[in-house]
Amino acid sequence: MTDENPFAPPTPRAAVPSANEPRTPAADSAPEPEARPATGPGAQRPEPAAAPDQATERLPQQPGEQPTAQLPASGFLTTVAAPALAGAAAEDRHGPHPSAHPTPYGTDTDPHATPHATSHGTTTRRGKLGARAVSAVVLLGLLAGAGGGVAAFALLDSQESARPANAALPEPAAGATQVERPEGSVAAIAAAALPSVVSIEVRAQQGVATGSGMILKADGYILTNNHVVAEAASGADVTVTFADGHEQPAELVGATPDYDLAVIRVDERGLEPLVLGDSDDVVVGDSVLAVGSPLGLEATVTTGIVSALHRPVKAGEAAEAAFIDAIQTDAAINPGNSGGPLVNSAGEVIGINSAIAQGPGTAAATGNIGLGFAIPSNQARHTAEQLIETGTATFPIIGVLLDPSYQGEGVRVSEESQQGTPAVTPDGPADQAGVEPGDVILSIDGRPVSVADELIVAIRAKAPGDSVTLQVRSGGEEREVRVVLEERSSGR
């Protein structure tokens, strides 16, 4: 194997006289400008080493043999290998090569071997290049490069056909129409919403969680998801980063895992809050913007439409699952968007981005697939007001246990108690309305239900004290019953 460059012209070699043969001065023995003058009348251009053991100085082995010293094949001036040749440079560290012919890209000698000065006299002299000499060589190289550049430009100037007559690129015409961003455009809505959206970081012993939030009130109240700041209840540090880049520590005001909502507060005044709109006015097909910090990318805006309403979404762990009567959107939502606002074309918040769908078989969220879910703004308003005023939130119940194994039409009330809890709570709302164990609930307020989660999220979308109408089947008979929802406290 050889490191010789097959594309480089061959390097002239000067014959090296043997020990018993008189030396004859070579025609090209004049020293190069960079080289130290060679001693003796027979100074010649060095011959590259021909074997690995010639990378270092040879000592005389027999009487009468003259000592010789070998230079690195590329001469005195050491060059730095280009990044593209890093692999070759790494290979050179393994030792001297079988052939030491030079390449134009640098020295091919062993980097551990010491360079030697050219000397064919009776004395072997170790060649060294002092700091001043190095500076002079580098300066000469720079001056030569500059001179070459000036000469090249002069040559091009003398050959008008070698360069374009005019390299100016087309420019917009004077008075050309500017991009219009009228009120209600995506750009205008984003510009109004972004200053009121924050990035949230929670540092706990087990790691760092990030999410998004929206400013609720000018005096520092911020709304986000419970799962974003859940560790704050155990003393984790919460930091809020605002749109202008400044940061503030935050404290937890209140949270509820039942709705996956939380309120935190920073010690700051004069903030610009976003307006919570009426989510009951939302219809499928409405244009929306999702604003937040997906994957830590702050102040990100994505667009889409409302894809569906009243999606029953169960988010979180089984012990603290949130049941959301969600707004579905195809606006891109990714991890980190949690807690950020879903904004309509009027610039009002109609939902709090909270969850994304996962493909079958995936154990963790992998990113946007066009199926994102937001907590309706009416639910967020009611819960946030409770958290600010009391630190806790409530949710409504009808007082029954549902049978998860039932596969028929509607949702069936359990026939037996579960872990000591009766199927129908005595004197609870359902009991007072006449619902019995084993009854099947077919609809709520005229909306059919086919799985337990649909019934639960429909009830959670109401407020304690509201009344609902249930279509109930007992045996072969169906009837409507009116149930007044009862309040249960949750949160911390």
State how far the alpha carbon of 306 is from the alpha carbons of 157, 281, 350, 448, 474, in Å. 63, 12, 10, 21, 38
State how far the alpha carbon of 259 is from the alpha carbons of 272, 335, 380, in Å. 25, 18, 8
Q: Which residue has the tokens 């998860």?
A: 404
- Selecting among 293, 338, 377, 443, the annotated active-site residue is 338
Active site residue 260: yes
- Selecting among 227, 325, 377, 382, the annotated active-site residue is 227
Q: Is the dihedral of CA 217, 218, 221, 222 positive or negative?
A: positive
Cα separation, 298 vs 290, whole angstroms: 12
Q: For residues 47 and 75, is the Cβ–Cβ distance under 8 A?
A: no
- Selecting among 3, 108, 260, 439, the annotated active-site residue is 260
Active site residue 338: yes
Residues 6 or more apart whose CB falls under 8 angstroms from that of 105 comprise 5, 79, 81, 82, 85
Measure the N-to-C terminal CA separation of the chain; round to a whole number of Å: 74
Count of other CB atoms within 10 angstroms of residue 249: 11
Q: Which residue has the tokens 């000067």?
A: 14
Cα separation, 255 vs 339, whole angstroms: 13
Catalytic residues: 227, 260, 338
